A and B are shown apart, each in its own frame.
Chain A
């Protein structure tokens, strides 16, 4: 069974400070992990996925299979980064699409 742990419910940082949102997973098979973000009053949306190894809005995340982690990082937090962040491994569904298992989420608050 898949399990995702996001140990921090709330993370408060000052603007310009580095950010690290932790995510640890347990997964049978090859994990495929995503980070989703929900800004205030907006719907959930994809931030980034580990297979693309991209940087979105300054955020990066590296899959560390040894530590079973997929932490989300940004060197300098911006006020607009304040949001709810969910780590989510996917289970491709044979009928099409993907089932997502969400972590508990971390509320990031960037203070001025």
Chain B
């Protein structure tokens, strides 16, 4: 069965509104979860690292005030796209690993469309 679950799998929102995406680790506790973004016909790009109980760390060029990450428990991380704009439309994917040097398990992704 799936190790990681994302919700929703698809969401359409209006410009200026905020959208929350959930990522759940179903099989094990994850102190760290990773958020990626994928534009159409492009590769996945790491956005940020979600750390349970502390602040997320963001990759260069990713606005932390735009993409709010909360990792309130060992099995749940949320990504909130604030004041969404059409250019935020993308596929957002989270991943977890049991530990360093091990396989990364991915969520099914969330397709965000901002209209």
Contact = CB atoms under 8 A, between A and B. Distances in A.
Interface of A: 32, 34, 36, 43-46, 49, 51, 86, 90, 92-93, 95-105
A99 B94 CA distance: 11
Contacts of B100: 92-93, 96-98
B106 A44 contact: yes
Question: In this complex, which of B42, B95, B100 has the most chain A Cβ atoms within 10 angstroms of its Cβ?
Answer: B100
Contacts of B51: 95
A34 B95 CA distance: 15
9 contacts: A44-B44, A44-B93, A44-B106, A93-B49, A95-B31, A97-B97, A98-B97, A98-B104, A100-B34
Interface residues of B, number: 28
Contact of A97 (B33, B36, B106, B107): B33
B21 interface: no
A100 B16 CA distance: 31
A102 B30 CA distance: 22
B108 to A, nearest CB: 5
B49 A90 contact: no
Interface of B: 2, 30-34, 36, 42-46, 49, 51, 93, 95-97, 99-104, 106-109
Contact of B106 (A43, A51, A101): A43
B47 to A, nearest CB: 11
Contact of B101 (A43, A46, A92): A92
Contacts of B104: 34, 36, 46, 90, 97-98, 100
Given A32-B101, A44-B106, A96-B30, 10 more contacts: A34-B104, A44-B95, A49-B103, A95-B32, A95-B49, A97-B100, A100-B36, A100-B46, A100-B104, A104-B42
